[in-house]
A and B are shown apart, each in its own frame.
Chain A
């Protein structure tokens, strides 16, 4: 029965890696070949890093106001000056002038006032992760002249700082919300798929019902119930829960479908024929079988969550000021005036679009990688 006598007598190193590769390492190597997805993953990682270290990265806190500089356009940063030649980055001070035609305030660079940007400078105190107290910021200007990379808003707050601060809520709500709805989804979907019958029918019809509810009125109803005097942390969690209660349905469907398919796989039957108990089958054969697919569908449902939070907050139903998220930032750009006169207020939208696209690219790559046998 020497069935291998010829073909595999010489195994080279590369083959060996392939032979001994686990499912996960196969997925990883397939994912790496997917260039767009890999790059997107790196960018996503950077975004999350920014969110985590936002206090350090940005010069100001989300509430710091420069009342003299409301609606200031993004500050230009210079490294060249006709007199001094090249130097470290600096900005010019700003003069506020009244435009005689439109009777609106405009800012113009005050070429006489040159302020250098300082790195690792001391600024407002913050606490990283709530533990490490520090007042060192990546960059800043410790004078009257502020630096607004993305301009400033109606109250003279730095849009750049607020966008990065806001990413904390916007990016985390996707993760927290999805893991919550994932928990509900996997539980109900799993029960529905594994037991089938009337339980399955009941859960499926309930999901039908949940999906058929019009989302925006439901959000409004839920948020109306939230007490206004709750702290922003409490509201944050409440919003997350609301979002996940509404969005677990599709995840439960995916789980159920996958379980139904895996339950009938011959290898599951083989384990049952060998006398395996139900928990063993679930842990050993079913869960690993669809974990890769779940990761894909989770990745693809995070953007939905982020968009939902943005939409809610944009409508003023979600995160309440003074907490910032991309949605609350976009609230400032609700009117046409803002868009024509202060287009920089839309910069947070670019972040929303970018993040959603990145997640979709990563999800696409994962989906292609998850099934090496398809």
Chain B
């Protein structure tokens, strides 16, 4: 499989009045063509910062990329996104043409002042100025139909507030697809939705992904959703990738104590009821500096001094299952 995106040793700090937040520390991962990479993490894990830095939509300052690189299509075009000026033309073309994104709250991603159709066609005309007006219209209507919006022509002239969350999310997906992107980033797209609607959207994402030959980065805090949709999974904790690998591997044979604990702590609908094993304590404050493993304070399998003092190295098993923990040194 061809790699389409490669993130290497990415570290991002936020310089705030209250102090420095190490939002990302040495984040490494890649996305292959036509795969879904699920990124799981709780609040403060840095999952949203990661995708924002890929799209170049981080507010800098306060954020600053301290080190590392983000390469798009490393084998062919090899665009180093982190070196491009975020407001430049090249980046603007990458955004939406090559990488597009859908957000958690579709209401705030649409302007309330323009009809949904206008906003979708604007996205298209901006990136494909050569298209004629009728072409634009037909492409948009086709997309709206594809994302399962009943009677797209009527929908086209309506405003965002006239629709339910599910419908808006569908429209958002249509808008993200206008330029046939190679990567679709979905940042908790179903968190604000009800389960039945969530199932609709997951199904939709799955089908358009194969239809458009895209790769997808799917971010969520919900392990079950991630488990369902991903080919590979990236587990993040406090700005670090603690484990990554093929979905079946990570879920059936988790290597990092955090992943293990997470799996044991969530109630699962499809397994016999047993008592939950919660992860003790709470997520440390983002301002805290960790010299060793960030999960040290809550880890039940910690080894002692070494975990507290020394940063665990990445260990790769031959099936591509990576883990960063002293247990696997």
Touching chains A and B, CB distance < 8 Å = yes
| Binary flags per residue of B279-292, CB closer than 8 Å to A gives 1, else 0 | 01110100000000
Residues on the B chain within 8 Å of A5, using CB:
280-281
CB-based contact A7/B281 at 8 Å: yes
CB-based contact A3/B280 at 8 Å: yes
CB-based contact B17/A6 at 8 Å: no
The docked-state distance in angstroms from the alpha carbon of A26 to that of B46 is 28
CB-based contact A7/B17 at 8 Å: no
The docked-state distance in angstroms from the alpha carbon of A6 to that of B282 is 10
CB-based contact A33/B17 at 8 Å: yes
A2 close to chain B: CB less than 8 A? yes
B60 close to chain A: CB less than 8 A? no
Dominant secondary structure of chain B at its interface with chain A: loop
The docked-state distance in angstroms from the alpha carbon of A5 to that of B299 is 12
CB-based contact B280/A7 at 8 Å: no
CB-based contact A3/B17 at 8 Å: no
CB-based contact A4/B17 at 8 Å: no
Residue in chain A with minimal CB distance to B283: A7
Q: Which of A2, A5, A7, A33 counts the most B-chain CB atoms under 10 A from its CB? A: A7
Residues on the A chain within 8 Å of B281, using CB:
3-7
Residues on the B chain within 8 Å of A4, using CB:
281
The docked-state distance in angstroms from the alpha carbon of A291 to that of B58 is 35
A100 to chain B, nearest CB (A): 65
Residues on the B chain within 8 Å of A6, using CB:
281, 297-298
Chain A residue total in the interface (Cβ 8 A) = 7
Residues on the A chain within 8 Å of B284, using CB:
7
Dominant secondary structure of chain A at its interface with chain B: loop
Task: List 10 A-B pairs, minimum CB-CB distance, nearest first.
Answer: A6-B297, A3-B281, A6-B281, A7-B297, A7-B281, A3-B280, A7-B284, A3-B282, A33-B17, A2-B280
Please provide the chain A residues from 1 to 58 with a CB less than 8 Å away from any CB of chain B in the complex.
Answer: 2-7, 33
Please provide the chain A residues from 246 to 300 with a CB less than 8 Å away from any CB of chain B in the complex.
Answer: none
A21 to chain B, nearest CB (A): 14
The docked-state distance in angstroms from the alpha carbon of A2 to that of B298 is 11
Residues on the B chain within 8 Å of A33, using CB:
17
Q: How large is the interface on B (under 10, 10 to 19, 20 to 34, 35 or more residues)?
A: under 10
The docked-state distance in angstroms from the alpha carbon of A5 to that of B281 is 7
The docked-state distance in angstroms from the alpha carbon of A92 to that of B238 is 74
Q: Which of A's residues lie within 8 Å of B, judged by CB?
A: 2-7, 33
A30 to chain B, nearest CB (A): 9
A16 to chain B, nearest CB (A): 15
The docked-state distance in angstroms from the alpha carbon of A33 to that of B16 is 13
Residue in chain A with minimal CB distance to B284: A7
The docked-state distance in angstroms from the alpha carbon of A270 to that of B164 is 30
Known interface pairs A3-B281, A6-B297, A7-B284; 11 further A-B residue pairs with C-beta atoms within 8 A, sorted by A's residue number: A2-B280, A3-B280, A3-B282, A4-B281, A5-B280, A5-B281, A6-B298, A7-B281, A7-B282, A7-B297, A33-B17
| Binary flags per residue of B292-322, CB closer than 8 Å to A gives 1, else 0 | 0000011000000000000000000000000
Residues on the A chain within 8 Å of B17, using CB:
33
Residues on the B chain within 8 Å of A3, using CB:
280-282
A11 to chain B, nearest CB (A): 13
The docked-state distance in angstroms from the alpha carbon of A6 to that of B281 is 7
Residue in chain B with minimal CB distance to A1: B280
Residue in chain B with minimal CB distance to A8: B281
Residue in chain A with minimal CB distance to B297: A6
Residues on the A chain within 8 Å of B280, using CB:
2-3, 5
A368 to chain B, nearest CB (A): 11
Residue in chain B with minimal CB distance to A9: B297
Please list 15 pairs of residues, one from A and one from B, whose beta carbons are closer than 8 Å in the complex, sorted by A's number.
A2-B280, A3-B280, A3-B281, A3-B282, A4-B281, A5-B280, A5-B281, A6-B281, A6-B297, A6-B298, A7-B281, A7-B282, A7-B284, A7-B297, A33-B17
| Binary flags per residue of B246-283, CB closer than 8 Å to A gives 1, else 0 | 00000000000000000000000000000000001110
Residues on the A chain within 8 Å of B298, using CB:
6
A28 to chain B, nearest CB (A): 16
The docked-state distance in angstroms from the alpha carbon of A7 to that of B294 is 12
| Binary flags per residue of B7-26, CB closer than 8 Å to A gives 1, else 0 | 00000000001000000000
The docked-state distance in angstroms from the alpha carbon of A6 to that of B284 is 10
| Binary flags per residue of B191-228, CB closer than 8 Å to A gives 1, else 0 | 00000000000000000000000000000000000000
A25 to chain B, nearest CB (A): 16
The docked-state distance in angstroms from the alpha carbon of A33 to that of B18 is 11
The docked-state distance in angstroms from the alpha carbon of A7 to that of B298 is 9
The docked-state distance in angstroms from the alpha carbon of A2 to that of B281 is 7
B259 to chain A, nearest CB (A): 20
A294 to chain B, nearest CB (A): 25
Residues on the B chain within 8 Å of A7, using CB:
281-282, 284, 297
The docked-state distance in angstroms from the alpha carbon of A7 to that of B284 is 7
The docked-state distance in angstroms from the alpha carbon of A6 to that of B297 is 6
The docked-state distance in angstroms from the alpha carbon of A7 to that of B297 is 7
A8 to chain B, nearest CB (A): 9
A240 to chain B, nearest CB (A): 40
The docked-state distance in angstroms from the alpha carbon of A3 to that of B284 is 12
B71 to chain A, nearest CB (A): 37
Residue in chain A with minimal CB distance to B296: A6
B47 to chain A, nearest CB (A): 22
Please provide the chain B residues from 53 to 109 with a CB less than 8 Å away from any CB of chain A in the complex.
Answer: none
The docked-state distance in angstroms from the alpha carbon of A5 to that of B282 is 10
B174 to chain A, nearest CB (A): 33
The docked-state distance in angstroms from the alpha carbon of A2 to that of B297 is 12
The docked-state distance in angstroms from the alpha carbon of A4 to that of B281 is 6
B97 to chain A, nearest CB (A): 36
The docked-state distance in angstroms from the alpha carbon of A148 to that of B17 is 47
A274 to chain B, nearest CB (A): 26
B303 to chain A, nearest CB (A): 15
The docked-state distance in angstroms from the alpha carbon of A212 to that of B282 is 53
Residues on the A chain within 8 Å of B297, using CB:
6-7
The docked-state distance in angstroms from the alpha carbon of A4 to that of B280 is 8
The docked-state distance in angstroms from the alpha carbon of A33 to that of B282 is 30
The docked-state distance in angstroms from the alpha carbon of A33 to that of B281 is 32
A364 to chain B, nearest CB (A): 16
The docked-state distance in angstroms from the alpha carbon of A4 to that of B297 is 10
